[in-house]
Amino acid sequence: MTGRERFRPADHSNDHFLLTTVVGSYPKPTWLNRARDLRDDDDSSDFDADAWDEAVRDASRAITHEHEHTGLDVVCDGEMRREEMVEFFAERIEGYEFNGPVKVWGHNYFDKPSVVSEVAYDEPWLLDEYEFSTDVAQRPVKVPITGPYTLASWSFDEEYGSEETLAYELADLVNEELSRLVAAGARYIQIDEPALATTPDDHAIVGECLERIVADLPDDVRVGLHVCYGDYSRIYPEINDYPIDEFDVELANGDYEQIDVFADGDFEPDLALGVVDVHTTDVESVEQIEANICEGLTVVPPERLTISPDCGVKLLPRNVAREKIENMVRAARNVEAALDAGEIDLDCRTV
């Protein structure tokens, strides 16, 4: 079984199967943030690296199980080891250095790194995260990983003089990391490329990066691409040519104004559709999410529709994040049952 059916739980109650999953990040437990403060406090000599590792493992276990309790079909650990989507990887890639925070907006900053020499693979990036969460999970685990185009775009380039060249070099490193993850058993990978939304004219560069990323990967590895908050008419239908199994996109935030971009009948990959907004603490009702899921059925049939939040949910309060995901899973199961019963047709029209 190489398709998405292998992610169907053995006890799945409906004939139809709308694969439910997350994009990646999840709110960190408050105590983990306190543990980080202790780790970073030079005066706290009794909180050492071992204590930090234990705290991270505890958080990873707790969030993986929290995902499973919501009923998700494919889970992850909410990226408990990661603080920021570029920083985490830049810290592990040879050739990067950090010079301090830079402004994103208002008083919100991130440690934008500089590439100061040729980038090279040094140590595994996500192997610990994947192996630990797989070990504690009963459900299959997805691995979200920041894509090379975003790693290049959101860094200062002192070495290559060409963002395109840097992106391709980084794509080769992502490929190396994936080969290790796949050897460890990973079969569901999600490449996160939010920078593509900033500069959609670079869609061909992202396409070439993806070709390098998937080179020599076994056919049974499911590869998704996540993009968010962009003008999708500028990258579709070009994404049909990408070597991906699934395209994951946020559209709940924009009330599905752009769904028609993809609904031309020629959409090639599976669609992973965001059905809850991660930028509002209002928890969408099950009925509202069912209607959102139906938007996806205008693009792909149920067997090609994956259900997820718009984006990582880490900025939400933890209880809100959990309630949104619980409602999302309930809504997906309700739509499956309605499809089974013939109460709605494949365009989500009530029969």
> Does position 162 bind another protein by CB under 8 A?
no
> Does position 157 bind another protein by CB under 8 A?
yes
Cis peptide before 237 (omega within 30 of 0): yes
Cα angle 139-272-244, degrees, rounded to a multiple of 5: 95
Q: How far is the CB of 314 from another protein (least distance, A)?
A: 14
Inter-CA distances, 213 with 84, 173, 246, Å? 21, 8, 15
| 309 phi and psi angles, rounded to 5 deg | -70, 165
Q: Which helix (H) or strand (E) holds 288?
A: helix 286-296
Q: How far is the CB of 34 from another protein (least distance, A)?
A: 18
- Each residue 104-143 as x (binds another protein by CB under 8 A) or -, in order, gives xxxxxx--x-x-----------------------------
Residue reference for tokens 């935030």: 253
Tell me how many residues contact another protein (CB under 8 A): 21
The two tokens of residue 128 are 């610990």
Exposed, middle or buried: residue 297 (CB in 10 Å: 0-12, 13-18, 19+)? Answer: buried
The span from the CA of 223 to the CA of 217, in Å, is 10
Site for another protein in 187-226 (CB under 8 A): 195, 198-199
- Which range binds another protein by CB under 8 A, 6-14, 19-27, 151-159, 234-242? 151-159
- Each residue 248-287 as x (binds another protein by CB under 8 A) or -, in order, gives ----------------------------------------
Site for another protein in 300-339 (CB under 8 A): none
Closest CB to another protein among 57 and 314?
314
Residues in contact with another protein by CB under 8 A are 99-109, 112, 114, 153-154, 156-158, 195, 198-199
